[in-house]
Structure 1
Amino acid sequence: MTTKQTNRISLAKASLIAGLGLLLMVLTVPFAEFYIFPELIGQNSTETANNILNNKMLFSTSIFLHLITLLCDILVAWALYIFLKPVSKEFSLLTAWFRLIYIAIHLIALTNLIKVFGLIKTVNQSEFANQLEFSDSVEFYMNSFRLEWEFALLIFGIYLCLLGYLVFRAEYVPKIFGILLLVAGLGYVINTLGVFLFPNVNTEFLMITFFGELVFMLWLLFKGSRIRDFRVKAE
């Protein structure tokens, strides 16, 4: 097998791995965010704490869904680094590092959910001064998780902008996907900055930009995984 053949196969396999990793993530965190958390988060801290107490399995499932997503993120960061290395090895590595930084902050945020699980698993409510103290502790960690993850998404938005630039420069990927990823990255950045700097401004309309990632995922699965005739440039 020649070096060129090996490189071509590596690009195809990297595209397939990245696409499969992204596909699995579509089935994990969205389920936690749009089904589990709406079921658990109540109108006040007491209702939320009681919902989690009464649905420990559902809450622990949300933790493991986030963990699976983090593992997939690592896989995708590695696969896309390989897939885009022919464009620029150094810039592709820098881009991958931004995703790894996002993963690290997301993991730190996830520890807040683990602390909530620790409260409801090992600490009896009677050990708190009152029900309100227990509920406030749960709410504090839940809010901390949300804010820390929102901050992680700011880094993820920057990552998508860098990824979009690489994809736009890649001769073996349609440039439209680079543009879509860049728009998605800007959507993440603006939406997250709004949470911290302009909390009264509704930026939910920017969620439509996030579909650029899904479109790119489909291309990786059905087109990128079939790359055979691209000649990798000498590094």
Structure 2
Amino acid sequence: MGTSQTFGQMRTTARMAGFLYLLIIVGGLFSELFVRSGIIVPGDATTTVENISDNFFLFRIGLISDLIMVMSDVGVALLLYLVLKPVNKGMSMLAASFRLAQATVLGINLLNYFMPVLLLDQSGYLSSFSAEQINAMVLLFLNAHAYGYLLSGVFFGISCVLLGWLIIRSWYLPQWLGVLVVAAGFSYLIDCVVNFLLPELAATSEILVMTVAVVSELSLCLFLLFIGIGRQFDKQ
């Protein structure tokens, strides 16, 4: 039997998860839409390097934004584990583990994002490379960063499927929210498979992620932030 105190603690935990989730969404969208999309020109190393050189501080801000996102993800993994542990402790821990694996991949992948800064800092040990070679390496590392994001999506997708299942099975969170989260998980998995096996269809899978995943994750974030959990928690 739940108590009002336990309900209050769980609602606070859920709202903390919602707040950190909001940081993840804002940080991720800022880095992708306001930094990378305006600086990186696919297939054009020279223009990309010029854009980075003209916006060095913004490029570095993108790194910090991603770092905040990754650290928030670690917090969300723990908080959602606590929120959903009453449903199934083992599955909740597994969902948190896959989310932590995603955060680990993203954290390491930030090295690929920062490599252009090291390549463009005019250090003497890079004098043996021509400008064209350095430009090519910059774009190579940025492409590697993009694929690192896709790889992290495998772990995140599995985490979302497990998380959605837990929400559906819970008695204090709405089932429709769990269905949305499961759909988001499958959209991430599909996007990763398509990008690696059928890259010509990548534009279509990206639309899938930007619709299904964004809607479901934003719904989860806002529900946790403003509602937390339902009063039904006390009735179990």
Query: Do they superpose with TM above 0.5?
Result: yes
Deviation (angstroms), 1:6: 3.8
Correspondence for 2:58: 58
Task: Indicate the residue corresponding to 1:162 in structure 2.
Answer: 162
Indicate conservation of the 8 Å contact 1:125/1:134, yes or no: no
Q: Is the 1:4–1:232 contact (alpha carbons within 8 Å) kept by the matching residues of 2?
A: no
Is the 1:168–1:175 Cα contact (8 Å) retained in structure 2?
A: yes
Which of 192, 206, 209 lines up with 1:204 in the alignment?
206
Give the CA deviation at 1:11. 1.0
What residue is the counterpart of 1:174 in the other structure?
174
For 1:4-53, what per-residue CA distance to the aligned partner results, in whole angstroms no more than 9, with x for missing partners?
34422221111111100111122111011111112211361111112112
**In the alignment, which residue of structure 2 is the partner of 1:231?**
234
- How many Å separate the matches in 2 of 1:73 and 1:22? 7
C-alpha displacement of 1:54: 2.1
**SS state of the match for residue 11, structure 1?**
helix
User: What amino acid is aligned across from residue 88 of structure 1 in structure 2?
Assistant: N
Distance 1:38 1:125, change over 3 A: farther
Residue in 2 that maps onto 1:18: 17
Instruction: Tell me the CA shift for residue 124 of structure 1.
Output: 5.8
Q: Which residue of 1 aligns with 2:224?
A: 220
1:146 partner amino acid: A
Q: Report if the CA contact (8 A) 2:119-2:126 is conserved.
A: no
* Residue aligned with 1:27, SS: helix
Distance 1:159 1:143 in 2: 25
How has the CA–CA distance of structure 1 residues 126 and 115 changed in structure 2, closer, same or farther, with 3 Å as cutoff? closer
Secondary structure at the counterpart of residue 3 of structure 2 = helix
CA contact (8 A) 1:125 1:131 kept: no
When the two structures are aligned, how many residues end up with a matched partner? 231
Q: Distance in 2 between matches of 1:126 and 1:155?
A: 36
Report the Cα offset of residue 120 of structure 1. Answer: 2.1
CA offset at residue 228 of structure 1?
Answer: 4.9
- Any idea what the Cα deviations from partners look like across 1:170-222, whole Å, max 9, x if unmatched? 10011101101001111111111110011011323312111111111111112
Mapped partners of 1:118, 1:129: distance in 2: 13
How far does residue 121 in structure 1 lie from its aligned partner after superposition?
2.8
Report the alpha carbon displacement of residue 122 of structure 1 after superposing the two structures with TM.
Answer: 5.2
Q: 1:75 maps to what in 2?
A: 75
Give structure 1 regions of 4+ aligned residues with deviation exceeding 4 angstroms: none
What is the alpha-carbon distance in structure 2 between the residues aligned to residue 134 and residue 198 of structure 1? 29
Deviation per CA, 1:96-149: give whole Å up to 9, x if none.
Answer: 000000000111111111222222235269714321111011111111111111
Distance 1:138 1:45 in 2: 7
Tell me the distance in 1 between the aligned counterparts of 2:124 and 2:163: 47
TM-score (norm 1): 0.91
Question: What is the percentage of aligned positions where both structures have the same residue?
Answer: 30
TM-score (norm 2): 0.91
1:74–1:103 CA contact under 8 A, matched in 2? yes
Once residues 129 and 190 of structure 2 are traced to their aligned partners in structure 1, the CA distance between those partners, rounded to angstroms, is 42
